[in-house]
Amino acid sequence: MHLFGGETVNKVNDRGIEVSNASDQAIGALNNYTHELLALGNGTNAITAAARAMPDCPMLQACAASAFLYTQSLAEAAGASPYLARADARLDDATERERIFIAAVRTGLAGDFEAALRGYEQIVERWPRDTLAAKLAEFHFFETGAAERQLRLMSKAAEANPDVSHVRAMHAFALELNGRRAEAERVANAALTIDPLTMWAQHCLAHVWSGDSRVAEGIAGMRTFSPTWNQFSHYTVAHNSFHLGALLLDNREFDSVRALFRENIWGFEPDAVVELTDAILLLWYIELAGGRLDGEWSEVAPHAKKRVREHLFPFLKTIFLYALARADERATVAKEIARLKAHADGQSGRQKKVWKEIGVPLAEGSVAFAYGEYDRAAAALAPILPEVACAGGSDEQRGVFIQSHLVSLVKGGNRERAHRAIEDYIAGRPVTSLERHWLAEI
């Protein structure tokens, strides 16, 4: 069979990994998709057209299906079905690695992140130069908060792919999520030495600077990086701007943060989950720092309302509920809290713990905070904060829950507990202007 003039046989991609039923054009499309996904580029959408044009390559179909993972929506993930069906039709031709990969993509799209991760971990263990499997695993680690497993996988991938700056950046970020910020900084800088336009390494440094309270250095660093962001996806611009905004809020520079919100984050693709996430979290952080908003919650709420019915992972459900609560959508919030509890009751095993023991109090505590019910918020959030990572999100994204607990104690008038909690939060770091503001409020 010939496709686009190229004979379909088993070939190898640019990482030396065998691909079944692949023409030269199919290999080119696969290499491009992998690069664009790792680099946070603008070209990932090309994979679906390539998959439709070359239906006999199972790996092309699986990659096209994997693009739907980033919708962070079970409903939108259904769009991957035709690609998975074509991949299934060619399973007899697929290599063992491809069969594992296809199964991992399928289970990830269905919301079974644990099954997907087991597949990708198996691939990276046996075929460590599969950088695409490592990148897709990283997304599911974000949804599960399994930072130690993430570091094991990324260490293996980085060792096998020392020439790929984006893999080094993934390793750096895994180090940061495990609290190993000095190592993360070193590895991220090594990635930037290979390619200064390694966006994920820039992003990792933002986490490091924030975690170490190196606020002035972080603001200067992100502003130095910022002219490069527009070459990449809007997600890159928005998410790196979110991190710059978080650093600026450590100095309580509200005007600069509101400008970032308008110019770089909100209103580009407002129904996209990634944009909604950055927008909601930055608005939440502004208010936690004592800043005022002017109608932003009412702008965001209609888009959050479209997403809030799904139960993909608790972090996502909670931030949508919080946005609706701040917009005073009380009837919708009450209805969705009830649906969340019913969903949690229907889970079993580890998912029972994630949804019922962590997810429900996380949502209830966050909503209580949104309504100004500070004692109830503090009581709900305090017991779950040590394990809140399993709800999903990164460390800085989950910081809104930690700060909401602190501010609840401050505003609830419990001076001794509030002072102790803030000191524990600072934990020997340099004290920021924001933290001095909280201490002064006590």
pLDDT in tens, 111-151: 999 999 999 999 999 999 999 999 999 999 999 999 999 99
Q: Which residues of the chain have pLDDT under 50?
A: 1-5
Q: Where are the alpha helices (DSSP H) in 311-373?
A: 314-326, 330-345, 349-352, 360-370
For residue 167, count CB atoms less than 10 angstroms from its CB and return exposed for 0-12, middle for 13-18, buried for 19 or more. buried
- State the DSSP code for 22: E
pLDDT at residue number 4: 40
Paired with 9 in beta bridges are 22
Residue of 370, 360, 362, 438 whose CA lies nearest to 406: 438
| CA distances to 29, 59, 158, 310 from 120, in Å | 21, 14, 15, 25
In eight-state DSSP terms, residue 261 is I
CA distance 412 to 402: 15
Q: Which residue has the tokens 């690695």?
A: 97
| Alpha helix positions (H), 147-295 | 147-160, 165-177, 181-194, 199-211, 215-225, 234-250, 254-260, 273-288
pLDDT at 3: 40
Greatest C-alpha distance within the chain: 75
Q: What is the pLDDT of residue 7?
A: 57
- pTM for this one? 0.96
Instruction: Return the pLDDT at 442.
Output: 87
Retrieve residue 298's tokens.
């009412």
Taking 3-state DSSP, the helix, strand and coil percentages for the chain, each rounded to the nearest 5, stand at: 75, 5, 20
Rg, Å, the chain Cα set? 22
State the pLDDT at residue 8.
62
Question: Residue 59: which of 37, 36, 29 has the closest Cα?
Answer: 29
Position 413 scores a pLDDT of 87
Q: Which domains does the chain have, with CATH numbers?
A: 1-144 (1.25.40)
